[in-house]
Structure 1
Amino acid sequence: MSHTTKPEQEGVRNHHSRRNFLLYSGATVAATGLMLSGCEPYFPTPMPGNNGEGGIDLGSGDVGILNYAYALEQLEAAFYTKVIDRPFGGMTSKERDLLEDLKEHEIIHREFFKAALGTNAIPGLEVDFSGIDFSDRMSVLGTAKAFEDLGVSAYNGAGRLIKDVNYLLLAGKIVSVEARHAAAIRSIFGDDATAFAGDDIVDPLTGLDVAKSPQTVLATASKFLKTKLNGSNLPTM
């Protein structure tokens, strides 16, 4: 006979409902996504770029930008998956729920780009998290903060490079989620609760979030990747 109380039952039901929603919404997005059917087939392979740079070529045009986003989503999904698989000591239920939701969101984003790109997608990336202490709360949350801030600045910087308005709309929807992630992580990281919109990410004069170029973002992301990426063929204007 179960002795689970009604509030506990509601909590379990809501927990599973949220998980099911995330999984089903991911499947729906992947199934009804913006396929790149109008683009010439592109098969990513290790090759030199315009400047002789090696690594997996992300491609050019909108395909390249979507592969760029796909690479970042792979990195974030891999990070949060490991965080949940190896929770740091003293992780609270609130922290776990937040980090698990972020994991599910990033997996949905990753799978969406993979499905939308089809044969144009770069392969799965090999990550390098050797510099992260997954047993330490500050190490994990500090890395999460860095990843989320990087993701927001990446989408902000890439938006002007996207030609297809449908892909631009998609990027706008995803960056808003990434910004929510960044604010949520900042709200539980450190002692300053106002840092969720600090001057380091929001220009105090313009009120606009930071935007970074793909080359700047890739230079930072590469520190957590064993797979080398080549973004030299990405659009610049």
Structure 2
Amino acid sequence: MKKTLLENSVSEDKQMLSMVNRRYFLRSAGVAAATGAFILGACTDHDIQGDQTVDLGSGDVGILNYAYALEQLEAAFYTQVMMTPYAGMSAEEKMILTDIRDHEIVHRQFFKAALGGAAIKGLTPNFSSINFSDRASVLGAAKLFEDTGVQAYNGAGKLIVSADYLLLAGKIVSVEARHASAIRDLLMPNTGSFAGDDVLVSIMGFGGFDGAVPPSVILPAVQPFVMDKISGANLPS
């Protein structure tokens, strides 16, 4: 069952990436040539700053860069996991982690292509706190990244103006939620951990919803895993 869900997600991701190029992505959000100066201006600061603070930008572009930064982190993490598999990694674990890696790479490349010249630079990860040879350390970090990713997308949803961007973000967060469930099931198989009370919240009296956390909370939480200083000071709130 897990394999089917994850493989279907890979197919959906690849279709999304092939269908949405930069021209369509910008056009669908109503960004015409007249606003091109704004798009170019959004990347000026981090181009000049080089190795200094990476400013995500403002508006929808800033939120997309926010998502791009998180996807860079996740893609780099799973790439490292599969380059140096932990001792005793089972065939099932290898299959699941490989699929998740492929998803995250597609997500990362999707945002990079969609943002074009407005994309932030490639970030340098800092995984010094993770022991990639130890199963518990790797899966614990994976759980942290996936739970954080779902909460980040949910928290950023209300900040997105473009309905097209919001739809795309909704599709991606549904895949991230599958990742989170799969990782939790690897850590605690045959339990209710895949949808644990530690991540699900109640809204208007109805339970079973993933939490939503704003960028102002997410960015400090992920900063220890990135060498570059990331600033979301200009993001909408």
Gaps of 5+ in 1: 1-13, 48-53
**Structure 1 residue aligned with 2:178:** 180
Q: Which has the larger radius of gyration?
A: 1
| Alignment partners' CA distance in 2, 1:34 and 1:189 | 40
Counterpart of 2:59 (choices 50, 58, 61) is 61
Calculate the aligned-residue CA RMSD, in Å: 2.5
**Structure 2 residue aligned with 1:220:** 221
Give the superposition deviation at 1:29: 4.3
| Alignment partners' CA distance in 2, 1:64 and 1:82 | 27
For 2:234, the aligned partner's letter is N
| Alignment partners' CA distance in 2, 1:117 and 1:123 | 11
Any residues of structure 2 matched to 1:28-47 within 5 Å, and which?
28-29=18-19, 31=21, 34-36=24-26, 38=31, 39=35, 40=38, 41=40, 42-46=42-46
| Alignment partners' CA distance in 1, 2:222 and 2:190 | 26
| Alignment partners' CA distance in 1, 2:19 and 2:73 | 20
1:120 aligns with 2:118: yes
Q: Percent identity?
A: 51
Secondary structure in structure 2 of the residue aligned to 1:122: coil
Give the superposition deviation at 1:121: 0.2
**Structure 2 residue aligned with 1:206:** 206
Give the superposition deviation at 1:214: 0.2
- The structure-2 alpha-carbon separation of the partners of 1:71 and 1:29, relative to structure 1 and needing over 3 Å to count, comes to farther
- The structure-2 alpha-carbon separation of the partners of 1:139 and 1:33, relative to structure 1 and needing over 3 Å to count, comes to farther
Q: TM-score, normalised by structure 1?
A: 0.83
1:105 aligns with 2:103: yes
| Alignment partners' CA distance in 1, 2:70 and 2:190 | 28
| Alignment partners' CA distance in 1, 2:150 and 2:22 | 24
Gaps of 5+ in 2: none
**Structure 1 residue aligned with 2:147:** 149
Give the superposition deviation at 1:193: 1.9
More displaced 10-residue stretch of structure 1: 105-114 or 190-199: 190-199
Secondary structure in structure 2 of the residue aligned to 1:90: coil
Q: TM-score, normalised by structure 2?
A: 0.83
- The structure-2 alpha-carbon separation of the partners of 1:29 and 1:102, relative to structure 1 and needing over 3 Å to count, comes to farther
For 2:220, the aligned partner's letter is A
Give the superposition deviation at 1:25: 3.5
Is this contact kept in 2: 1:22–1:105, CA < 8 A? Answer: no
For 1:25, the aligned partner's letter is Q
Give the superposition deviation at 1:95: 0.2
Counterpart of 1:193 (choices 191, 197, 206) is 191
**Structure 1 residue aligned with 2:15:** 25
More displaced 10-residue stretch of structure 1: 119-128 or 206-215: 206-215
| Alignment partners' CA distance in 1, 2:132 and 2:206 | 37
Is this contact kept in 2: 1:62–1:162, CA < 8 A? Answer: yes
Is this contact kept in 2: 1:44–1:59, CA < 8 A? Answer: no
For 2:99, the aligned partner's letter is D
Is this contact kept in 2: 1:89–1:135, CA < 8 A? Answer: yes
Deviation readout 1:31-73 (Å, 9 max, x if unpaired):
47753351422215349xxxxxx71110000000000000000
